[in-house]
């Protein structure tokens, strides 16, 4: 093959590659706009007057930003209480999920005991059960112990592990050499000390992924608070905004302002810990 022919083929391949990248970037940009449009509309609507929300033709930008809408939602809603309750449930629920799932995953991956595989397979089988199947039995159980209109039904189950997170952590731990445990035991370390001082620091990527998924799940949970909470002062943010929308749904500018406040912690957390988010989702 002549030099001119090789050059022509290389230029043709390079052109196709550049065109492919342009097409890919256009597709990704279109998807990004599609996903961001509702959030942008929510934020802009929160800065409008209520009369300007549904005018036609649609006006995206408010003539004069109504920053007082954010002050007003704190006056008409116990929003501070909703935020406090959401953070309380999220922090304790996420902590319980990480601790319990880590301990169970360590036992299923690093310790040898009879029936370990049967227990693990049974654990995986519970992932096949739709959540709606156990909803009524759980409600009856929490009703019998007097936990209705309390935070315990939202937090306590997290301290007994989660099958999906246990599976994630177990698979990660199985990739760590068992020789590390044996060397630590020769030095006199107990299983608990091995877990805390040796395995846990090496599982940071997996633990970060669990924290991300569990934290978002608890913070955005709507069904749990809807079932177990009835007092307004105990509502979390999703349930509190839903309650306000049901009573004052005609004030959409305030509903959007409250929704913007509810997503602000997640957006802030993402930008602050963006590196860990990417590592967690990549894992």
* Region of poorest pLDDT, from 1-10, 99-108, 158-167: 1-10
Per-residue model confidence (pLDDT) at position 3:
60
Q: What is the DSSP string of 192-218?
A: HHHIIIIIHHHTHHHHHHHHHHHHHHH
Per-residue model confidence (pLDDT) at position 129:
82
Residues 6 or more apart whose CB falls under 8 angstroms from that of 53 comprise 45, 252, 253
Write the pLDDT tens digit of every residue in 209-248: 888 889 989 999 999 999 999 888 899 999 998 888 877 7
The answer on pLDDT for 97 being more than 90 is yes
Cα–Cα distance, 185 to 40 (Å, whole number): 55
Cα–Cα distance, 53 to 44 (Å, whole number): 10
Mean pLDDT, rounded, of the chain? 86
Cα–Cα distance, 116 to 108 (Å, whole number): 6
Q: Measured at the alpha carbon of residue 153, what is the angle toward residues 150 and 157, in degrees to the nearest 5?
A: 150
Write the pLDDT tens digit of every residue in 255-264: 889 889 999 8
Q: What is the pTM of this model?
A: 0.84
Cα–Cα distance, 186 to 181 (Å, whole number): 9
Residue 86 pLDDT class (50, 70, 90 cuts): very high
């Amino acid at each position: 093959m002549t030099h001119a022919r090789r050059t022509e083929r290389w230029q043709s391949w390079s052109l196709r590659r550049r065109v492919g990248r342009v097409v890919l970037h256009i597709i990704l940009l279109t998807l990004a706009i599609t996903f961001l449009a509702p959030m942008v509309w929510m934020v802009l609507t929160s800065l409008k007057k209520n009369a300007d929300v549904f005018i036609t033709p649609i006006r995206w930008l408010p003539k004069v930003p109504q920053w007082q809408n954010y002050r007003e939602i704190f006056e008409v809603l116990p929003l501070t209480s909703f935020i406090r309750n959401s953070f309380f449930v999220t922090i304790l629920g996420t902590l319980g999920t990480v601790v319990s799932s880590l301990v169970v995953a360590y036992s299923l991956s690093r310790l040898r005991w009879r029936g370990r595989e049967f227990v693990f397979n049974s654990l995986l089988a519970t992932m096949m059960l739709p959540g709606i199947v156990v909803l009524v039995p759980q409600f009856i159980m929490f009703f019998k112990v007097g936990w209705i209109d309390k935070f315990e039904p939202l937090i306590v189950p997290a301290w007994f592990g989660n099958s999906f997170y246990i599976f994630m952590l177990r698979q990660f731990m199985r990739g760590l050499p068992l020789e590390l445990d044996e060397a630590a035991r020769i030095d006199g370390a107990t299983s608990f000390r091995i877990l805390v001082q040796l395995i846990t620091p090496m599982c940071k990527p997996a633990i970060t992924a669990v924290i991300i998924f569990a934290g978002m799940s608890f913070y955005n949970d709507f069904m749990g608070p809807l079932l177990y909470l009835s007092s307004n002062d105990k509502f979390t943010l999703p349930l509190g905004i839903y309650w306000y929308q049901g009573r004052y749904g005609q004030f959409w500018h305030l509903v959007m302002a409250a929704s913007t406040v509810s997503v602000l912690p997640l957006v802030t957390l993402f930008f602050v810990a963006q590196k860990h988010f990417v590592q967690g989702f990549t894992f």
